[in-house]
Amino acid sequence: MNVRRIAQSEHVVGWAFALPAVLLVVTFGIVPIVWSALMSFQRNNLLAPPQWIGLENYRALGRDPLFKASMVHAVVYTSLFVPLSVGGGLFAAIALNRKVVGIRVYRMAVFVPVVISSIATAIMFLWLFDPTFGLANWILGKLGLGPFGFFTSSDGALYSIIAMTVWGWIGFDAIIYLAALQGIPQELVEAAAIDGARPWGIFRTITLPLLGPATLFLVVFSSINAIQLFDEVYLLTNGGPGTSTYVPVFYLYQLAFAQGIAGYAAAIAYVLLVVILILTAIQLWVGKRLVYYAS
């Protein structure tokens, strides 16, 4: 009896300690999740009293060409951004994983874009990709190419955003890979060299497999990141030219906060959540079969 009372009192104290964190999670995590779930079944403009319409929002999504276009853009963006940033990060990490004079400076240079705010990056790329005065067109002009419209061209805007975000994220991927590379025992590489492997063979059979956990993490992380693309579109193209850079999160933002169609926007958010869950599950399932984890 006595023992139980002590246990119970410890219980109370424990919850008391955890309470601030619990409140934060509930207020800013659980409440919005549940609330937006409810909203997705409503006609809701955040002002007037909501009206329950069941699955109507979800049905409407299937008939919405702009939603479809946003999803297509997201697929194009994700399927280019993920391999380019992860592959680029690996390449950069290998280049940076050596002992040469000034290596710290090089490593810093690669990582700096990660810590620069996306606004600063966006402004820089606006200058760089300016159709008339930009450095990019000047260089391409010297090579007899262009001029290109970049962010102002409906064919090129999405790819210009990809170029920019890949540049911004390579440093992050490179740091993760660099840490993973330094965790690979040098002896394994030496043993493989003695066993007769050429540099490419060592990379393929030793380095790459042992980087598996890092690669899986980066692919999952970058994919989630890519599907949620918003900042750059908002800052640089505002979805344009036309709707050529509309992506789901940007579209739902437009719907909810510019046009006040919050119920419909919430349905998009939930579709996106399901897409992310399914994609992540597939990646982890494949990863489990391909990736070797130490110990």
Partner 1 sequence: MAEVVFDGVTKVFPGETVALDDLTLEIADGEFMILVGPSGCGKTTALRCVAGLERPTRGTIRVGDRVVNDVTPRDRDVAMVFQNYALYPHMSVYRNLAFGLRQRRVPKAEIDRRVREISAMLGLDDLLRRRPAQLSGGQRQRVAMGRALVREPRAFLLDEPLSNLDAKLRVQMRAELKRLHARLGITTIYVTHDQTEAMTLGDRIAVMSNGRLQQLGAPQEVYDHPANLFVAGFIGSPPMNLVRGRAEGGRVVAGDLTFERSRIPDGEVAVGIRPEALSPSADGTPSFEFLVDVVEPLGDEVVVHGTTTGSTVETGAEEEEVPTQVEGARAPITARFDPGVRLAPGERLRLGVRPDRIHVFDLRTGAAIP
- The angle subtended at Cα 149 by Cα 143 and Cα 153, nearest 5°, is 140
Residue closer to partner 1, measured from CB, 219 or 265? 219
**How far from chain centre, in Å, is Cα 165?**
9
Residue closer to partner 1, measured from CB, 59 or 198? 198
Q: C-beta of 102: minimal distance to partner 1 in Å?
A: 17
Residue closer to partner 1, measured from CB, 191 or 278? 191
**Is the separation of the CB atoms in 134 and 150 below 8 Å?**
yes
Going from the C-alpha of 217 to that of each of 71, 168, 224, the distances in angstroms are 24, 18, 11
Interatomic CA distance for residues 258 and 17, integer angstroms: 41
Q: C-beta of 119: minimal distance to partner 1 in Å?
A: 43
DSSP letter, residue 30:
I
Which residues, in sequence order, are bridge partners of residue 96? none
**Is the separation of the CB atoms in 77 and 158 below 8 Å?**
yes
**How far from chain centre, in Å, is Cα 292?**
24
Q: C-beta of 292: minimal distance to partner 1 in Å?
A: 4
Q: C-beta of 200: minimal distance to partner 1 in Å?
A: 11
Q: C-beta of 18: minimal distance to partner 1 in Å?
A: 37
Residue closer to partner 1, measured from CB, 23 or 188? 188
Residue closer to partner 1, measured from CB, 155 or 195? 195
Mapped onto helix, strand or coil, the DSSP state of residue 242 is: coil
Residues near partner 1 (CB under 8 A): 185, 187-188, 190-198, 201, 205-206, 209-210, 212, 292, 294-295
